[in-house]
Amino acid sequence: MRIALDGPSGAGKSTVAKAVAKRLGIVYVDTGALYRSIGLYVQRKGVSKDDKEKVIAMLDEIKLDLKFNDGTQVVLLNGEDVGGFIRTGEISMYASAVSAIPEVRAFLLETQRKIARENSVIMDGRDIGTVIIPDAEVKIFLVASAEARAERRYKELIEKGESCTYEGVLADIKERDNNDSTRAVAPAVPAEDAIFLDNSNLNQEQTIDKVIEIIENTVKKKKPKKKRRFYRAVKFLLGKIVGFFLGVRVKNKNKEIFDKPFILCANHTSLLDAIVIVIAMKNQIRYMGKKEIFKIPLLNLFIKAMGAFPVDRKKGDVAAIKKTLEILKGGECVGIFPQGTRHPYENPRDTEVKDGIGMMASRAGVGIVPVYIKNKSGKVKWFHKNTVIIGDYISPEEIAFPELSGREKYKAISNYAFDKICSIGESWEDKK
Ligand code: DC
């Protein structure tokens, strides 16, 4: 899930974005802080903000990093946390001036795109929906009249004990609006498909509620309403006939997850695992299956009709990852066996876990449902009692791991989910 929140200064984007990020368990990225940090560097060096040549030449001396501590963004300028220095009126003007320089924007492009690639985010800025994430799932352009914004800002400054006049604040806002929206590169204008929200007459709470409503409506609208008659018919027959011979028992029929997209992860004991899970789960589970089984005639047609899709396990299969993200973002569920291959008769804790699950859950912004498949003989077998224990839903918030990034984060998510699977199995054994 990527949400682009653009709009002029002072429209309240950061307050809204923070609240939305908290509610949805996603990462809030304040891109203005990057421009502000460059502005600060230029100001500290005593260089004029309008001296483009010098500003461009200084970019080589600058290293910017964004870190997230408990979900709060920290911006590091050459290793120094500059959060306390970049929110002044003077630095706002420096930020606005340097942000109009194409080389500065190019310098910051990849930093921003990388964060959006690796996380579910709400990003606030000016060009998020037009340049940084043009394919964001939701784009909102938040505005308020210059007067309403000046009034809010003026009150804020007075409360902080700063001396200023309303007229001065209004003039600064108008100047920044003019700079930001008329510059030649990435001007602060709404993307064609952005939803416009004017909050001149709304308070903070009302604005947050409105933004959440827009996000929910947009995501709902994008969910394809697929008819799954074949799947439902097969599930019914499997449940009645095969389920009987497989002796399937389901524990913890978890109602909370019926209408959510998620990744279902289970231990892998036998080829029959997928069948017992289809029988056990109310949601349709679309399986990522090894590409070899898609070569078997008839079976190939059947599993495709059931919504399964192939993965080449020998390479980083980009198409399979894309397909998974597409399915999850469309509101459907994907089933994956994190062990990659079958491990009958083995304690799952003794096996390795693939980190792809973490990457896909993180990038799609969905939760994970851990499932443990239990059979006395060590693998699912015909004419044996096969038990499917559905674990508690792991929310995206629970696996946000904001202090980690990239592969470390994906690995942590995969391990977390797999640990839950193993724990379900162990507590089940203890109970018995
Ligand atoms: O959102 P802010 O006020 O902290 O942004 C500071 C300046 O940076 C603002 O004047 C415009 C610029 N900016 C930008 O050009 N593009 C962004 N994505 C974010 C900020």
- As a whole number, mean pLDDT of residues 403-409 equals 85
- As a whole number, mean pLDDT of residues 236-247 equals 84
Phi and psi angles of residue 290, each rounded to the nearest 5 degrees, phi first: -60, 145
Q: How far apart are CA 15 and CA 205, in angstroms?
A: 10
The preferred substitution site among 14, 16, 35 for testing ligand 1, maximizing ligand atoms within 8 Å of CB, is 35
Task: Determine if ligand 1 sits within 6 Å of the CB of residue 329.
Answer: no
Per-residue confidence band for 188, with pLDDT thresholds at 50, 70 and 90 = confident
pLDDT recorded at residue 430: 59
Is the pLDDT reported for residue 432 higher than 60? no
CA of 95 to the centre of ligand 1 (A): 7
Instruction: Give the burial class of 93: count Cβ atoms within 10 A of its Cβ; 0-12 exposed, 13-18 middle, 19 or more buried.
Output: middle
- As a whole number, mean pLDDT of residues 400-410 equals 84
Q: Which residue's CA is the closest to the ligand 1 atom numbered 2?
A: 32
pLDDT recorded at residue 196: 93
- pTM tops 0.85, yes or no: no
Task: Determine if ligand 1 sits within 6 Å of the CB of residue 31.
Answer: yes
pLDDT recorded at residue 402: 75
- As a whole number, mean pLDDT of residues 415-423 equals 95
| 287 Cβ neighbours under 8 A, 6+ residues apart | 274, 303, 306, 307, 308, 309, 334, 335, 336
pLDDT recorded at residue 351: 87
Is the pLDDT reported for residue 225 higher than 60? no
CA of 35 to the centre of ligand 1 (A): 6
Residues paired with residue 197 on neighbouring β-strands, in sequence order: 142
Judged by average pLDDT, the poorest of 65-74, 220-229, 409-418 is 220-229
pLDDT recorded at residue 121: 92
Task: Determine if ligand 1 sits within 6 Å of the CB of residue 35.
Answer: yes
Is the pLDDT reported for residue 375 higher than 90? no
Ligand 1 atom nearest to CA at 123: 18
CA of 64 to the centre of ligand 1 (A): 15
Task: Determine if ligand 1 sits within 6 Å of the CB of residue 18.
Answer: no
Q: Give me the residue label for tokens 């003039």.
A: 171
Most confident of the following: 95-109, 237-251, 347-361, 401-415: 95-109
Mind listing the pLDDT tens digit for each residue in 76-90? Answer: 999 999 999 999 889
Q: How far apart are CA 383 and CA 243, in angstroms?
A: 10
Phi and psi angles of residue 372, each rounded to the nearest 5 degrees, phi first: -115, 130
Task: Determine if ligand 1 sits within 6 Å of the CB of residue 96.
Answer: yes
For the chain, the distance separating the N- and C-terminal CA atoms, rounded to the nearest angstrom, is 41
Q: Which residue's CA is the closest to the ligand 1 atom numbered 15?
A: 99
Per-residue confidence band for 255, with pLDDT thresholds at 50, 70 and 90 = low
pLDDT recorded at residue 127: 95
- As a whole number, mean pLDDT of residues 234-255 equals 82
- As a whole number, mean pLDDT of residues 329-334 equals 87
Q: How far apart are CA 231 and CA 301, in angstroms?
A: 13
Task: Determine if ligand 1 sits within 6 Å of the CB of residue 9.
Answer: yes
Task: Determine if ligand 1 sits within 6 Å of the CB of residue 73.
Answer: no
Ligand 1 atom nearest to CA at 14: 1
Ligand 1 atom nearest to CA at 36: 6
CA of 112 to the centre of ligand 1 (A): 13
pLDDT recorded at residue 334: 96
Higher pLDDT, 335 or 384: 335
Structure tokens given for 63: 């290293």
CB 283 within 8 A of CB 277: no
pLDDT over 70 for what percent of the chain?
96
Mind listing the pLDDT tens digit for each residue in 142-166? Answer: 999 999 999 999 998 899 898 899 9
The preferred substitution site among 13, 18, 29, 31 for testing ligand 1, maximizing ligand atoms within 8 Å of CB, is 31
Give the number of other Cβ atoms within 10 Å of residue 406's Cβ: 13
CA of 317 to the centre of ligand 1 (A): 37
Indicate the average pLDDT of the chain. 89
Q: CA dist 67 to 170, 400, 404, Å?
A: 33, 14, 9
- As a whole number, mean pLDDT of residues 383-410 equals 86
Task: Determine if ligand 1 sits within 6 Å of the CB of residue 95.
Answer: yes
Helix 318-329 and helix 356-364, axial crossing angle in degrees, nearest 10: 40
Higher pLDDT, 222 or 42: 42
Q: Which residue's CA is the closest to the ligand 1 atom numbered 17?
A: 125
Is the pLDDT reported for residue 377 higher than 80? no
Q: Which residue's CA is the closest to the ligand 1 atom numbered 14?
A: 126
Walk me through the domains of the chain, giving residue ranges and CATH numbers. Answer: 2-221 (3.40.50.300), 229-431 (3.40.1130.10)
CA of 252 to the centre of ligand 1 (A): 49
Is the pLDDT reported for residue 282 higher than 90? no
The preferred substitution site among 9, 130, 140 for testing ligand 1, maximizing ligand atoms within 8 Å of CB, is 9
pLDDT recorded at residue 429: 67
Structure tokens given for 150: 């000046």
Ligand 1 atom nearest to CA at 183: 15
Chain-centre distance of CA 251, in angstroms? 30
